[in-house]
Structure formats: structure tokens, C-alpha cells
Amino acid sequence: GQARAAQDVDDRVRNGSRPAEIAVGEANVGVARARAEEAAEALRRAQALQLGISVTQAVMLQVERDARITSAQLEDARARLDLLRQGSRDEDIAEAGARRDASAAALDAARARLAQCTVKSPIDGVVVERLATRGQFVTSAVPSVLLRVANDKSLGIRAEVEAAHSGDVCVRQHASITREGGAGGELGASVARIVPPLAAAAPAAPRQGETPPGRADVFLTLDRPPAGLRVGDEVMLRFEPCAS
């Protein structure tokens, strides 16, 4: 905003007065001239009268004062019109240019500070987890994870299968997926990868996003891009028998 305002001032100073501004100045001169002529005529009539008989001293002083004021106003209007016609002075142009340059430099500095406060994601996707809070101080000297972003262009399905049934799952096995409420109908998928179950090293409960001990992770790829399916949505999965 300030940079734009400074640029407008610089343009106005460099381009000089607009024709409309000069026309207004000429009109002001005309009004001042008419008032001055009227006051001068009133003064001449008063001077032709006999002081103390036809006109009082107070009225004469008032007429003389009005004549001086209107004459000064006419000179002021003429001077203003001359300034409009002459345009901007070199020092005015230099001052406006300096203000414009200072505003542009301040804008560049603000943009640089904003760029230092912006973290760009390396991929397009959706935020699945926020690890930083608003107003939290972070620094590049100590790298930290702020957000977890998932690529939503190539969605897949992760299923947890109990160890007792892990033998019923095989790679390239087909499955059908149904969203909650049955919206959108069934989606086709196939098993791409199986991570065997691990034995529990301790009785501690698994953290969020981790597979509990004794269960296998099964990753499936969708046969076609899903419509309306988002990261984190829960679905119902039904496996078809493995091909013999």
C-alpha cells in the first residue's frame, strides 16, 4: 500500500499538473479578479463621497480593508495558477523519487522476511498430522518436523491382519473396498506388499499409527483413482481367495 502510494505521488510530480487542475486554478483567478474589481469600485464610490457627511469613517475603513483583502486574494490565486502551469520543481521530483525508492526497498525487505518465515512442502498433498503449534519458536539450527504431509495423488490402503490369518493373504491378491455407509459403491484393489507380524518386545501399548504386535501390515493399491476418498478415511475390506 505504501509503495503504491509513493509511486502515485512520484508519477503525479513527474507528470506535472493535470489540465483539470489548471482549469480550476484559472477559475479561482477569475473569481478573485471579480471580487477585487467589485471592491475597488466600491472604494472609488466611497472616496467620491464627503467624509463625515455622506459616508462615515468606519464605513470608509471597511471599504478600504475589503479592497486590500480582495487584491491580496487575487495575487494569491495568480501565484497558485503560475505554480500549476510551471509544473513540479526538480527538488520536488527528487524527493518524490526518493520516497518511492525507500518504499520499494521497505517492500523488498518485508518480502524477504516473509520468505524466511515460510516453509514450503516438498510435495503436493494433504496434512495428516500437525506436530507444531501456533506461535511455537522454531529454528533451522535445530531441524524439527512441523507437519506430516501425505501424497493424495496415489492413495493406497493399509490393513492390519491378525497373525492367525496372515497366511490367507498373498501378493497380487484381489480385494474389494467399501466406504463407510456404502457411498460410492465398491472399489477394486490388489495386495502390493505384506509386512510380516513382529513379536512383542514389551507389553507397552503401540503408539498412534503403529501396528500392534502379532499383526501384519498389508498394503494394497487401488485399481482406479477413487472419487471422494481422503487420507485417513476408514474403509471395509474384503479379500478374495488367493489365486492357486
Per residue in 81-124, pLDDT (tens digit) is: 777 766 655 666 677 777 777 887 788 888 887 777 777 888 88
Cα Dmax for the chain: 136
Q: Let me know if residue 32 belongs to a domain.
A: yes
Q: Are residues 51 and 111 in the same domain?
A: yes
Angle in degrees, 0-180, between the axes of helices 19-48 and 57-86, rounded to the nearest 10: 160
Instruction: Give the span between the Cα atoms of 70 and 64, in whole angstroms.
Output: 10
Q: Let me know if residue 26 belongs to a domain.
A: yes
Q: Are residues 182 and 136 in the same domain?
A: no
Q: Are residues 130 and 187 in the same domain?
A: no
pLDDT in tens, 147-164: 888 777 777 888 888 888
Q: Are residues 37 and 92 in the same domain?
A: yes
Q: The domain that contains 235 carries what CATH number? A: 2.40.30
pLDDT in tens, 52-86: 666 677 777 888 888 888 888 888 888 777 777 66
Picking from 57, 88, 115, the residue at the C-terminal end of a domain is 115
Per the structure, how many domains does the chain have? 3
Q: Are residues 65 and 131 in the same domain?
A: no
Paired sense of beta strands 147-150 and 126-130, if any: antiparallel
Picking from 56, 88, 115, the residue at the C-terminal end of a domain is 115
Q: Let me know if residue 172 belongs to a domain.
A: yes
Q: Are residues 199 and 100 in the same domain?
A: no
Instruction: Give the span between the Cα atoms of 80 and 59, in whole angstroms.
Output: 32
Q: Let me know if residue 244 belongs to a domain.
A: no
Q: Are residues 61 and 128 in the same domain?
A: no
Helix (H) / strand (E) element for 147: namely: strand 147-150
Q: Are residues 196 and 224 in the same domain?
A: yes
Q: Let me know if residue 20 belongs to a domain.
A: yes
Query: Are 196 and 215 within 8 A, CB to CB?
Result: no
Domain extent at residue 145:
121-150
Burial zone of 157 (CB within 10 Å; 0-12 exposed, 13-18 middle, 19+ buried): buried
What share of the chain in percent tops pLDDT 70? 76
Q: Are residues 26 and 88 in the same domain?
A: yes
Which residue, 185, 174, 184, is CA-closest to 221? 174
pTM: 0.37
Q: Are residues 47 and 141 in the same domain?
A: no
Q: Are residues 98 and 76 in the same domain?
A: yes
Length of the chain: 244
Q: Let me know if residue 207 belongs to a domain.
A: yes
Q: Are residues 137 and 172 in the same domain?
A: no
What DSSP assignment string belongs to 75-126? HHHHHHHHHHHH---HHHHHHHHHHHHHHHHHHHHHHHHHHHT----SS--E
Q: How far is CA 154 from the centre of its chain?
A: 31
